[in-house]
A and B are shown apart, each in its own frame.
Chain A
Amino acid sequence: MNGPTRLRELSENELESALLGVGTDYRSSPRMRAKTLAALGFAGSAALGGTALATEVARSAIVGSVKVAKLTGKVTWLKTLISVPLLTAAVAIPTMYAVRSARGPDGARTVAPISSRAPAEGGAPSPPLAIVPTPAAEIAESASAAPALEQAGWQTGDRRRAARRAAARTVLTRELAMLDAARASVASGSPASALSLLDTYDAAFAGGVLRLEAEVLRVEALAKSGQTDKARAHAQRFLRRHPTSPLARRVRVYATASRQSGS
């Protein structure tokens, strides 16, 4: 059953079109993206059920080779999405590609970027998708943006705004990369390294977009390094200051008096 023509196509009224336009054109911001990625990293360790997979993934990332996390037939794209922040530990991630996994001669899965998403043929189920980071060459994209915009005929004010946005995106990418490195340290059993990285984050990005995510990570690292009292104090302070944060639930387990086991 086809529905009626969309209003946007139908409308001959300028005001109506403008209103429908702003509704349709709404986009997520780099901030939303960074905060979501940072939050998915936390959820990742919990949802993937412990550190075994996280450790493997983090170790691969640190070694520099990018291996696709083990995927079972039942894994949805959300599960693969969760493993991405762990993969970003050693590389900065300006963009990501969806890839199809394929088995190499030794049975190990390798990845190759695809440029288009071709639909699966016949009745075969589509192979599991994994999202992996590209090499870190493109941080310079913010520097190269200005000449490209000039070519596109942008006005000076637009160029300045766009350059500011590009610079902000670069900072966000670096914030996220640092937190991912800290998270990988926790996942691979080095909470002390994580705490050191978080100290560096606090110094480099005071008032950063991801400062709440950093604070939650600190609570986890403190707990995992045996500093339970400190973890609890930080957790309780977080909950006092940010009771309605989406991250509050994650922190709450550390704020109670008795030690939670099996987390």
Chain B
Amino acid sequence: MLDDYLDFVARVLRNAGTPERDIDDEVQRTFIVATRRLADIRPGAEKAFLAQTALHLAAHARRTIARRREVFGHETAPEADPVATPEALADRTRMRRLLDRILDQMETNLRTVFVLYEFEEMSMAEIAEILTIPQGTVASRLRRARAEFRARVRNLEETLVGEEKS
């Protein structure tokens, strides 16, 4: 049971934008916060609480990165090699980097709903409860998030195919 919750927390943190190098600490921090606030957690609401905590910590981690970039600047190297070859698709490190890039470009509100729906397979009702927003809002954010995700993936593919041909 602990392992399921560990995977869940790690995944939410990571997909919500926590850098890989900070994940160990942020997973630990999530559970520390949870145990500190035990009295506030209703039985049955543990997963929701962990999700809320993880999302909050990930947002904090992302703000820290954004501030660092303001000061030091940040260059994202454009992808030089084609992405849709069998070799590229099997390169999980590269796929992870691309996924991070696509998700980072999404507005946080949309990203969060997308992450919880597509990667955690939560229902819209569960997501509404975790984010304390109406289900209608979840539905509309999900629609926009999915459209944006698909468009960015297509764009990535087409850009590189175009370059390959030229």
Residues of A within 8 A of B (CB): 1, 3-4, 6-8, 13-16, 18-24, 26-29, 31-33, 35-37, 39-40, 43-44, 46-47, 74-79, 81-82, 84, 96, 98, 129, 131, 244-247, 249-250
Contact = CB atoms under 8 A, between A and B. Distances in A.
A26 B14 contact: yes
A194 B98 CA distance: 47
B158 to A, nearest CB: 11
Contacts of B163: none
B46 A18 contact: no
Contacts of B15: 23, 26
A43 B36 contact: yes
B96 A15 contact: no
B118 A22 contact: no
Residue of A7, A75, A78 ringed by the most chain B CB atoms within 10 A: A78
Q: Which of B14, B25, B115, B123 has the most A CB atoms < 10 Å from its CB?
A: B25
Given A3-B123, A14-B89, A77-B46, A82 B35 contact: yes
What range describes how many residues of B lie at the interface? 35 or more
B41 A78 contact: yes
A13 B146 CA distance: 14
A75 B123 CA distance: 26
A27 B90 CA distance: 17
Nearest to A24: B119
Contact of B2 (A22, A26, A96, A244): A96
B46 to A, nearest CB: 6
6 contacts: A14-B84, A15-B84, A23-B99, A32-B10, A77-B46, A249-B32
Contacts of B38: 47, 76, 78-79
B55 to A, nearest CB: 15
B1 A27 contact: no
Contacts of A14: 84, 89
B24 A32 contact: yes
A246 B139 contact: no
A44 B99 contact: no
Contact of A35 (B24, B146, B154): B24
Closest 7 CB pairs of A and B: A246-B29, A43-B35, A28-B6, A28-B10, A18-B89, A32-B27, A26-B11
Interface string B50-85: 000000000000000000000000000000000110
Nearest to B149: A7
Interface string B14-54: 11000000011111110110111010011100100000000
